[in-house]
Amino acid sequence: MVEGVGLFAPREAGLKRVSEHWYLSNQCDPTAIAIYERHYSCRKYADGRKRRQFVGMGQKMVLISGEADALYVWRRFMMPDMAGQSGVGCSVFRNEGPELSSTLILEAMKLAWARWPGERLYTYVNPAKVRSDNPGCCFLKAGWRRCGATKGGLMVLEATGGESAG
């Protein structure tokens, strides 16, 4: 069980292990939802209702670590997203555990490229919401590069070259 949460860690819940650190989950997994709700991008419902899922439309891959201390969500739209980005987007990454974030990102990248070969990977980072002097550093250490910003001030990062990922 996940300490203090009353939910089961993926290794105890029978989820499929897909890499050294990641298990395949889904958008309705209460443990994944609990991690997501601690991410800076999570919007709370104004009426206080309980969240039953947390990933929007499109093709998706929800990854959760064996100890339920990290979450990674890939989402692929059929058309560019609202900010004009195309490819497979990392819509959530949260690491609360001891493993290096760049290690978790590299594993997640391999899984994304196995499912969507050669696709561009991208993510947004809100520099004002992360506790870092170098926002996006863990993505940069995993081989991503800065490629712009949104009108709202989010940093855009990308990774390409999926056939030869790390």
- Whether the CB-CB separation of 117 and 88 falls below 8 Å is answered with no
**CA atoms of 159 and 66, how far apart (whole Å):** 25
* Residue given tokens 């209460």 in the structure block: 30
**Cα angle 124, 32, 95; round to 5:** 55
Provide the pLDDT confidence category of residue 146 given band limits of 50, 70 and 90. very high
Provide the pLDDT confidence category of residue 9 given band limits of 50, 70 and 90. confident
Judged by DSSP in three states, 66 sits in coil
Q: What mean pLDDT is predicted for residues 74-100?
A: 88
The per-residue pLDDT for 4 is 46
Q: Side chain identity at 113, as an amino acid letter?
A: W
Q: Assess if CATH 3.40.630.30 describes domain 10-164.
A: yes
Distances in whole angstroms, Cα of residue 12 to Cα of each of 26, 31, 73: 16, 12, 21
Q: Where are the beta strands (DSSP E) in the chain?
A: 16-17, 22-25, 59-65, 70-76, 88-95, 121-125, 145-149, 155-159
**CA atoms of 84 and 113, how far apart (whole Å):** 21
Retrieve residue 28's tokens: 């309705």
Return the minimum-mean-pLDDT range out of 30-44, 110-124, 127-141: 30-44
**CA atoms of 141 and 153, how far apart (whole Å):** 22
Q: What is the pLDDT of residues 100-127, one digit of tens each?
A: 999 999 999 999 999 999 999 999 998 9
Q: The whole model's pTM is what?
A: 0.84
More confident residue, 103 or 35: 103
